[in-house]
Each structure stands twice: as structure tokens, then as C-alpha cells.
């Protein structure tokens, strides 16, 4: 069997048998949801419904209810669209690119990151659709034979490329995600006791039985879909950037946009994954699977892509001066010193400076700090899109057209509403779907599991012990190892205890033991 280098940190902490993995993942699906889940779901639902109300109002009244005007005809809607699409990049990047690079740490996070991707792309797709004003004729963007003279959609236009890119990306991500979910649904189906869940998970699992031939096909289809999804991820955000880059607006008309947008998308996507997973792992007690090392790996990705984004900002500034084009250089001077200077400098602070703090190991392994930075990065990335879109067009060629953009309550309501809808989907996912890829984790537990990693003896025997979480016949080495494992878990939980207060306080009955861990933690540091 393939052994992993001893120097690598284990990916699964503690001693986990195959059955333990199943138990740990299914616990939250089979048990009752904690009160915190209902509270968060209720809040998200209210915000989401408010957003839907705003969308209905928009559809009834028309786009005039947004703060758009004759110079700024794209503003919050497209900002939100690009922001959500960007967030929707991390999931497929994690599951596809990291699969091709055989990065095993992806297995703990890919399922939930892909779910996030899909829900984020739903939210993104909403904005161009409602921006059409007449949502019910949205299908006109497809090349369908029609009665209006044989006029077809324009395949020269980046806006149409977007239609194809986003819909391909959404549907392929959905299929990729679901193919991976089928075996895990089968696990839940075979464990279900009551008839209704058994029936539902039976339908969802498509009758999966886990035959050798099926697994053979499964592995190939995962690989090929990853191979197809990887260029797809890059193409989607490149095409989104073409919406701007192929126009002749100063500030938009730059060839750096595709790589810069893709890096920014990965940057914001990983930040959102961090935000969600830090809460998820705590709320669902998955610290053994998603631990500090995973967070650190993701922080390194954030640091690298954040640096790429920083370099892109500086390159843009340099080129705007070096080009000698008056309008181009004015667009950038206006961004930094014009009426939207605060947006520009928030973007610079959040996106260029904050990820550089990840060079410090102490900071990038701190869960509280990571949570804070992940929020900062997401705010920064929203401002990036706002800066690119609004500041480039609010000062038109004619000074008589110069105008400011102010969002109206519908602008704000729809944006906040999409965050609510997103969390409604995500919370439903975390309640009813397996949040970790069980089948995949079981394939790495003997390679990267802490108690197996550097074991010389018979690891098959080791797998058999500890069935169902009860420690049976541990050898001496195992016992000492378990102690080590517990300290690590405590360390990670306590660091994070403060940030996910809403989750912990409600669902942990043993809050007292939590605080004890907190005090222990200082000694270990």
C-alpha cells in the first residue's frame, strides 16, 4: 500500500475506523438539528424572503427603481453578479484542480465547497436575469428559432458567451457534485431506520450498490469531469471579464482582466469557503477532518491569489500611466482620488494588505484571525467589482454627463436578499446532505489518518479497533497517540470557540468543558 511521508501532517486526526467516518458525517443528518441551526435558518429565510419581495417589486415597477442613471447603467446588479460568480469558483477549483494535482486535503472540504459554488452561481445567475427587466422573456438569450424574422442571438458578443459559460459551468458543477454524492446518499439510505428518509435517500442515491465495476467507472468519470471542469473554471471568469475588457471604456479596456479576474475569483471563493467551513466544522463537530492544517492550506491559497490580485492592481496603475492615454490614466487617478476614493482604498486594504499577513505562520494557523480575514477579503472583493464597474463609468467622456451613483433600497434589499437565499440553501445542504465526501475520506484514512500514518504493524487490525468510537484493545502506542490527538483537537476548538459563538452556545450542552479547554490551551502554546 502507498505510504505517505511521515513528515506530512495527518489529514484526519485521531483514530478513525471506516465506521467512525460514517457515524461522524451521518450524525447531523440523522439526529435532531441543534437550536442554532433553526435560529440561523430562520434569520436567513427572513432575509431571503425580503430579497424575493424586493425582486418582485423590481419586476413589477421596472429597473428604474434601481439607482441606475444615464451614465451609470451598470452598478450594483453587475457588481453582485461578478461577486457571486467569483465566490462560485472555489468549489470546482478545489474539487477539480486539486484532484488533478492529487491534493488529498481537498477531500475534507470539496463537498461543502462545491455546494457553496452551486448556490453562489444560482445567486449570480439571478442578477443578469432580473436586469433584463422582463424576466419571463429570459429564454430569448438562447439561440431559438423565432417569429421575429430569423434573427439569431449574437455569437460575437461577450454577453452571449457569458450565457453559455455560466449555464455550462452551473450544470457541469451540479453534475460533478451529484455524481460524488450518489455513493454517500447510498450510505445514508442503508442506515436509515424510518421509511420516509429511507425512501427519499433511496431515490436520491439512484440505487447505488458499490460494485467493483461501478467504482471503476466512478473513478474515471471523476477524473474526466475534473479535467473538463478545470479549464471550464478558468474560462468562466475569463468570459465574465470579457464583458468589460472587450468594451472601449477607459478602466475596462485592458488585456490583464482575464487572469486578474480568475485570481480574484479564487481569492474570494476561498475566503467564502473559510467563512462557511469554520462555522460548519464547529457546529457539526468535524474538527478531526477539517483541522488547522486544512485552514492553513486554504490560507496559503488566499495569500498567493491575493498577491496575484495585488500585482494586477499595480500593473493596471502602471499601464494606465505608461500607455500615455489621457482618458485611461484619468480613470485610474479618479479611482484613487475621485469621489469614490473610499471604495478604492477599502479595496486596496482588504485585498492587497490583508492577505499579506498570512506570511506569518502564527496568523495563518489562527482560526479566529482566519475567520476575520475571510470576511475582510469578501468585503474587499465586493469593493473591487464596485470600483471597476462604477468608477469607470460615472465620469463619462463629457463632463456634462458626470454623475454619482447612489443605491436605492431595492438595490440593497436584493443584494442582502441573495445572501439570505444563499444561506437558506447552504443550511439546508448542511442539514440533509453529507457534508464530507465519506467514500473519498475512507480511501485516505489509512494513508493520512493520524493513528495509521506511522504505524509499522498490521494496520488492518488497527482499522478494526475503535469500532463505533469505543476504544477497544488499544495497544500502548495507540493510547499515547490518542492523547496527542486530543490535545490537537482541543487546541483547534478553543481557538475558534469565540468566533462561532452562535453555533457553539446553542448546540453544545457541555459548555463548561469548552471553557476548560480554553484555559488548557494557554499552557500548550
Partner 1 sequence: MAERVIYATYDDDHVLLDGAKKLVADGVHITDVFSPFPIHGIDPVIGVKHTRLGIVAFLLGLFGLTLAIIGFRYFMIHDWPMNIGGKPNFSLLENYPSFVPVSFELTVLFAAHGMSIIYLLRNKTLPGMPADNPHPRTTDDRFVMEIRLSDNAGFSSEELHQKIKGTDIIEIEEKDYVVIK
- Which residues sit at the interface with partner 1, rule CB under 8 A? 1, 17-19, 22, 143, 149-158, 160-161, 164-165, 168, 171-172, 175-176, 179, 182-183, 186-187, 189-191, 202-221, 224-225, 228-229, 231-232, 235, 239, 242, 438-440, 442-443, 460, 463-464
- Residue with smaller CB distance to partner 1, 206 or 321: 206
Extract the runs of DSSP E, i.e. beta strands, from 404-519: none
Q: Are 115 and 426 in contact (CB under 8 A)?
A: yes
d(CA 135, CA 56): 10
For residue 469, is it left (φ>0), alpha (ψ between -120 and 50) or beta? left
Residue 12, beta-bridge partner list: 449
d(CA 182, CA 438): 11
Residue 249: Cβ-neighbour burial (10 angstroms; 0-12, 13-18, 19+): middle
Q: Which residues contact 378 (CB under 8 A, 6 or more apart)?
A: 87, 268, 271, 272, 275
- Residue with smaller CB distance to partner 1, 162 or 316: 162
Kindly write down the DSSP assignment for every residue of 110-174, as one continuous string: HHHHHHHHHHHHHHHHHHHHHHTS-GGGGGGGS----SSSSPPP-TT-HHHHHHHHHHHHHHHHH
Q: How far apart are the first and last CA of the chain?
A: 36
* Listed residue (109, 64, 520, 483) closest to 291, CA to CA: 109
Q: Which residues contact 271 (CB under 8 A, 6 or more apart)?
A: 302, 373, 374, 375, 377, 378, 381
- Residue with smaller CB distance to partner 1, 206 or 322: 206
User: 343-354: b or e for each residue (b if 16 or more CB lie within 10 Å)?
Assistant: bbebbbebbbeb
Min dist CB 263 to partner 1, Å, is: 19
Q: Which helix (H) or strand (E) holds 520?
A: helix 511-524
In degrees rounded to 5, what are phi and psi of residue 210?
Answer: 75, 35
Helix, strand, or coil (residue 365): coil
- Residue with smaller CB distance to partner 1, 414 or 438: 438
The residue assigned the cell 495507540 is 478
The residue assigned the cell 467507472 is 217
Q: What angle do CA 314, 318, 322 make, to 5 degrees?
A: 170
* Listed residue (379, 423, 400, 473) closest to 49, CA to CA: 423
- Residue with smaller CB distance to partner 1, 18 or 402: 18
* Listed residue (247, 200, 194, 374) closest to 302, CA to CA: 374
In degrees rounded to 5, what are phi and psi of residue 243?
Answer: -50, -35
Amino acid at each position: 500500500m502507498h505510504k505517505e511521508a511521515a513528515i506530512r501532517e495527518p489529514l484526519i486526526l485521531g483514530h478513525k475506523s471506516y465506521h467512525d467516518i460514517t457515524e461522524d458525517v451521518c450524525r447531523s443528518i440523522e439526529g435532531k438539528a441543534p437550536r442554532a441551526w433553526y435560529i440561523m435558518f430562520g434569520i436567513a429565510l427572513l432575509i431571503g424572503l425580503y430579497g424575493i419581495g424586493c425582486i418582485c417589486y423590481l419586476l413589477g415597477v421596472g429597473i428604474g427603481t434601481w439607482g441606475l442613471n444615464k451614465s451609470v447603467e451598470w452598478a450594483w446588479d453587475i457588481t453582485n453578479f461578478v461577486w457571486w460568480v467569483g465566490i462560485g469558483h472555489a468549489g470546482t477549483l478545489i474539487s477539480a484542480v486539486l484532484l488533478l494535482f492529487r491534493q488529498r486535503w481537498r477531500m475534507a472540504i470539496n463537498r461543502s465547497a462545491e455546494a457553496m459554488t452551486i448556490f453562489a452561481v444560482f445567486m449570480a445567475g439571478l442578477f443578469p436575469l432580473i436586469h433584463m427587466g422582463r424576466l419571463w422573456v429570459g429564454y430569448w438569450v438562447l439561440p431559438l428559432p423565432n417569429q421575429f424574422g430569423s434573427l439569431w442571438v449574437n455569437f460575437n458578443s461577450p454577453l452571449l458567451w457569458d450565457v453559455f459559460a455560466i449555464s455550462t459551468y452551473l450544470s457541469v458543477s451540479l453534475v460533478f457534485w451529484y455524481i460524488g454524492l450518489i455513493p454517500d446518499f447510498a450510505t445514508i439510505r442503508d442506515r436509515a431506520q424510518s421509511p420516509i428518509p429511507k425512501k427519499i435517500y433511496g431515490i436520491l442515491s439512484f440505487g447505488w450498490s458499490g460494485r467493483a465495476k461501478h467504482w471503476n467507472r466512478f473513478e474515471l468519470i471523476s477524473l474526466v469531469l475534473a479535467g473538463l471542469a478545470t479549464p471550464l473554471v478558468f474560462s468562466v471568469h475569463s468570459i465574465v471579464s470579457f464583458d468589460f475588457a472587450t468594451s472601449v471604456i477607459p478602466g475596462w479596456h485592458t488585456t490583464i482582466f482575464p487572469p486578474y479576474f480568475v485570481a480574484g475569483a479564487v481569492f474570494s471563493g476561498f475566503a467564502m469557503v473559510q467563512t462557511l467551513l469554520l462555522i460548519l466544522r464547529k457546529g457539526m463537530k468535524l474538527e478531526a477532518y477539517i483541522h488547522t492544517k486544512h485552514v492553513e492550506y486554504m490560507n496559503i491559497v488566499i495569500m498567493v491569489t491575493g498577491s496575484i490580485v495585488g500585482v494586477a492592481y499595480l500593473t493596471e496603475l502602471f499601464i494606465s500611466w505608461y500607455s500615455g492615454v489621457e482618458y485611461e490614466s484619468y480613470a485610474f487617478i479618479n479611482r484613487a482620488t475621485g469621489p469614490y476614493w473610499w471604495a478604492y482604498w477599502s479595496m486596496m486594504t482588504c485585498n492587497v494588505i490583508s492577505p499579506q499577513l498570512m506570511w506569518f505562520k502564527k496568523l495563518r494557523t489562527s482560526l479566529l484571525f482566519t475567520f476575520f480575514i475571510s470576511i475582510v477579503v469578501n468585503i474587499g472583493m465586493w469593493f473591487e467589482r464596485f470600483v471597476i464597474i462604477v468608477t469607470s463609468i460615472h465620469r463619462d467622456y463629457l463632463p456634462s454627463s458626470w454623475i454619482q451613483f447612489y443605491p436605492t433600497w431595492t438595490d440593497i434589499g436584493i443584494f442582502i436578499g441573495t445572501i439570505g437565499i444563499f444561506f437558506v440553501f447552504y443550511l439546508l445542504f448542511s442539514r440533509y446532505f453529507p457534508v464530507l465526501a465519506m467514500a473519498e475520506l475512507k480511501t485516505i484514512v489509512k494513508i493520512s489518518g493520524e493513528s495509521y500514518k506511522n504505524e509499522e504493524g498490521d494496520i488492518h487490525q488497527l482499522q478494526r479497533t475503535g469500532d463505533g468510537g469505543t476504544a477497544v484493545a488499544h495497544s500502548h502506542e495507540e493510547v499515547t497517540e490518542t492523547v496527542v490527538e486530543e490535545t490537537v483537537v482541543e487546541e483547534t476548538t478553543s481557538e475558534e470557540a469565540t468566533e462561532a459563538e452562535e453555533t457553539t452556545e446553542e448546540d453544545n450542552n457541555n459548555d463548561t468543558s469548552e471553557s476548560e479547554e480554553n484555559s488548557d490551551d494557554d499552557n500548550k502554546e
